[in-house]
Chains A and B, each alone.
Chain A
């Protein structure tokens, strides 16, 4: 690593210009000023380089030195990532805390992965074997649930000359190729460059979230992209955190990008306590946090997304199903805008640089389901769930619009629903999923044959309700026919009992797929029940107070474990009630 030096000629917020930087390359990592603030070259003109500085620039002055290392900003990838909490440029917050105290100060360079921790490495190949990029040379049990595959880095191949088991630090050599290349537990990768794979796969498996409105109504595929746009306080963070807790995935990367400190405290206190619903292990054992809160430097916020996605790709390459939550992508875009305006670039829409859409799509495209590199056939995926915070809750702005063009799932949040405390405040009229057709076969085969039919019924009821409410707005509910009031009542139950799902409920925060199906079957059958009872001449008001309806109104609090039995018996009770003929209210 050769370094060269320049000196500061301009300082404007997080952007610094240095002269004498002829040797710098774009995205090269530099250290700025006597405090040694980390930064990255983002523009070069002649011998002048513009640098985005990852720490506060207050107190810098002209003439201070800038050191260029001649290499880009890299992520450290290897055992020890899981359970870590990093800032936007992958510095472990725990180390900053130890070195700097409770308040973050500046100029501390630390390794991302521990250099002293030893990992037990078990080789999977023998000397003499030929290896290509992506081949797994051995494994490390990183946490109880994550088996970390040590892979041949992209671009490297050859024959294994030496390899040995044992306890190693991430910097020690675990294998040597015949050309002398040393494989270590850790590899480094430039964060702005997507990691290679063999080819993309069509996403055909669902990303299972445990949230009814996501799984049943607007499902997203594993390796797909979902966005969660919504005004302040509509539930983006709670949604992201619920996914991080309950979604089925091998590894979760949670990026707190320009959001609140206290929110992260919630995660930090909860996650070590909470158990993964599949394995019963602490959630932290599958989680990596990248935290750059709103008051932390804006350029590091810009980098945080790339740090996160690079780590995600790395686990994907092992064959893991990774889910990446970014809260919020808008804050990332704003960081981009702020830096762009310091560069005095020509602004596009709403002051965002004209390359906003390109950058966004490059980032989203790093998600996906792929066939990994390596001889052994394996596939991995990165599912991206991106929160978006449109100003004034108005989705016509550039970040929402550019994201919607790319995302396969749009979970649109609605202030009006949030104000009535209908959570998750997903507006079912504006939301959509482009994955339903791809995923339905899986749901039919693995969960319930009637899955697509149930969803269609639910959507139809909500649509009917909309139409009827429009009429009722003109003539009053009393003027509606009994059949129409049945529709209103059932769709009310759908909204209140099915779509509404509190993250704070002990029983209902996560709803397994089987329970999702049974709940909807019950509602569907109750609809028939009301319709048929009406035909038999039962008065409507009595029917609306029928014990079965009242019971259905609380069914989500029924524990999921025996919901199959509960659902089956519920349906047969409805049938029995119908057979009785007259129904009493």
Chain B
């Protein structure tokens, strides 16, 4: 990671040329740097912050993190910091709480830096990456069994307004543990690992206080508070600051993981708020809007966040990301979930319909995916039948949903025996497999339950499973 050239003079400018929305246009600025941080001195003692986002002979464009309200062309002074946004890093970050741009808000002194790094980060050289392949048991059947999470993965939760994404996220970090497969087929042993090397980085992006409080409380309750670093930009905090918050969080996460050897779980919520801040700036810059007004470079911009997950060869730690986003109008093709899905390694999708039925966690498995699942499961890692059990559950549940649709058209009389069985299976799958409540299930239990559900069918209908596994795990249904 490179540092930018620093300059000697402190440069201060007395006036702006124009103010437009969150943007400030300053004329005749000497030697400003792209990405440079600036302080805006307001009348009185208030200081606001900004960042240089464009440079030309005509003007320097500054995006103001806080509001531009109260600014006039002549009542402000602009001071250039001569450096791009950087962050002070040290192991003492653990247990601390910061605002959305890295300033402590826990009444403790600033962190004494061991290292300073620019917050945009640098891409990991693809050759340096190590393949993520350690199964993380979340204790949730729909995830562990069907959409397995592995260390170093980025797996977002696609939620809808009012759906319990935060409860699920909290459940994940409370229950997450590394387990390893045993030699004996069908056996899994648990291994909790070194508890001191596990950390949580929490980035709150424009969420209401009540939600942030929920998380903070959850961290405290489960005793991980002193392994947690929180960056809080709440709903009433500056909008544009949201563009920086996840970058502070990820810079902290990378430091803890790759310099200090921690396995870091990063929770970012809500990415929809992040994208809206991005849109706000794009609109203010009069850029050509893309779909739904979001800028055309949103894919690239999001990638510079989500790609900051993974493992690195020869380094101990890992960064695993669980971003949460709200699908506007529950629409998965909306640009925010859509572009996220194009970057992340799968997605966990919540369903309003299941939620209404009282099912918790209301995870609709069909649109869910974990792309790294295959590298984290199987004989050596979880259990030999894991892949095929998952495939079979998917196939049967998808057909069960078809049968349900058919039933709603032709009525129960029009269904064949097979359809009826599928219908029954879909019901059982939702009420028993998905609907596990807040209790934790080991993978062993999840797989056991799957075989239980397979009993709805004669063994020969389980075409996606190898005969040898059927023989081993399928118990004839009691007549």
Contacts and interface: CB of A to CB of B under 8 A. Distances in A.
Residue among A59, A393, A478 with the highest chain B CB neighbour number at 10 A? A59
Interface in A237-292: 256, 258, 260-266, 268-269, 291
Interface in B341-377: 341-343, 345-347, 366-367, 369, 371-372, 374-375
Contacts of A294: 299-300, 303, 307, 343
A59 B33 contact: yes
Q: Ordered nearest first, which 3 A-B pairs have the shortest CB separation? A: A476-B414, A59-B4, A294-B303
Nearest to A17: B56
A59 B127 contact: no
Contact of B463 (A62, A263, A545, A553): A553
A268 B122 contact: no
Contacts of A97: 125, 127-128
Contacts of B312: 102
Interface in A41-98: 56-63, 85, 93-94, 96-97
B406 A393 contact: no
Contacts of A465: none
A106 B398 contact: no
Interface residues of A, number: 84
A157 interface: no
B419 A391 contact: no
A1 interface: no
Interface of A: 9-13, 17, 34-35, 56-63, 85, 93-94, 96-97, 100-107, 231-233, 256, 258, 260-266, 268-269, 291, 293-296, 298, 331, 334-335, 337-338, 341, 347, 350-351, 389, 391-394, 415, 418-421, 472-479, 496, 502, 504, 545, 550, 553-554, 557
A74 B292 CA distance: 39
Nearest to B305: A295
Interface string B297-314: 101100110011110110
Contacts of B21: none
A11 B54 contact: yes
Given A101-B128, A261-B310, 16 more contacts: A10-B56, A59-B35, A60-B55, A102-B315, A103-B123, A105-B2, A105-B122, A106-B2, A107-B2, A260-B307, A262-B310, A265-B126, A295-B304, A341-B287, A391-B339, A473-B409
Contacts of A338: 296-297, 300
Given A261-B123, A419-B366, A477 B416 contact: yes
A269 B132 CA distance: 11
21 contacts: A9-B57, A11-B54, A17-B56, A59-B34, A60-B55, A85-B127, A100-B125, A102-B128, A103-B1, A103-B121, A231-B338, A293-B123, A293-B126, A295-B304, A296-B123, A334-B299, A341-B288, A392-B291, A421-B391, A472-B406, A479-B414
B410 A473 contact: yes
B324 to A, nearest CB: 17
B307 A295 contact: yes
A291 B375 CA distance: 21
Contact of A103 (B124, B152, B338, B372): B124
A58 B36 CA distance: 8
A477 B372 contact: no
Contact of B296 (A264, A293, A337): A337
Tell me whether chain A's interface is mostly helix, strand or loop, or mixed: mixed
B114 interface: no
B387 to A, nearest CB: 7
Contacts of A415: 367
Contacts of A291: 126
A105 B118 CA distance: 12
Contacts of A347: 288
A97 B126 CA distance: 9
B415 A393 contact: no
Contacts of A17: 56
A341 B366 contact: no
Nearest to B365: A419
B421 to A, nearest CB: 13
Nearest to A478: B416
Nearest to A352: B296
B41 to A, nearest CB: 22
Contact of B394 (A9, A296, A421): A421
Contact of A478 (B126, B304, B415): B415
B103 interface: no
B333 A477 contact: no
B162 interface: no
B192 interface: no
Given A264-B126, A351-B296, A477 B31 contact: no
A268 B127 contact: yes
A341 B122 contact: no
A454 B436 CA distance: 48
Contacts of A557: 466
B88 to A, nearest CB: 19
Contacts of B120: 56, 58
B335 interface: yes
A10 B343 contact: no
A420 B126 contact: no
B84 interface: yes
B258 interface: yes
Given A105-B1, A294-B300, A504-B374, A62 B57 contact: yes
Given A59-B33, A85-B127, A477-B414, A261 B307 contact: yes
Contact of B55 (A62, A106, A261): A62
A293 B31 contact: no
A265 B290 contact: no
A101 B315 CA distance: 12
Interface in B212-252: none
Interface string B138-179: 000000000000001100000000000000000000000000
Nearest to B417: A541
Contacts of B315: 102
Contact of A11 (B55, B287, B335, B347): B55
B307 A421 contact: no
A296 B57 CA distance: 28
A233 B349 CA distance: 13
B184 interface: no
A461 B312 CA distance: 50
A550 B371 CA distance: 31
A479 B411 CA distance: 13
Contacts of B56: 9-12, 17, 62
B32 A62 contact: yes
Nearest to B409: A473
A268 B126 contact: yes
B441 interface: no
A578 B333 CA distance: 52
A62 B304 CA distance: 25
A104 B122 contact: yes
Contact of A260 (B299, B300, B343, B394): B343
Contacts of A101: 125, 128
Contacts of B47: none
A504 B390 CA distance: 13
Contact of A504 (B36, B387, B467): B387
Contacts of A476: 406, 410-411, 413-416
B131 A262 contact: yes
B286 to A, nearest CB: 10
Contacts of A351: 288-290, 296
Given A420-B394, A478-B414, A496-B463, A61 B126 contact: no
A348 B238 CA distance: 34
Contact of A298 (B121, B300, B310): B300
A420 B374 CA distance: 17
Residue among A106, A258, A295, A477 with the highest chain B CB neighbour number at 10 A? A295
A30 to B, nearest CB: 17
Contact of B297 (A13, A420, A496, A504): A13
B5 interface: yes
Residue among B2, B125, B304, B371 with the highest chain A CB neighbour number at 10 A? B125
B4 A265 contact: no
A12 B410 contact: no
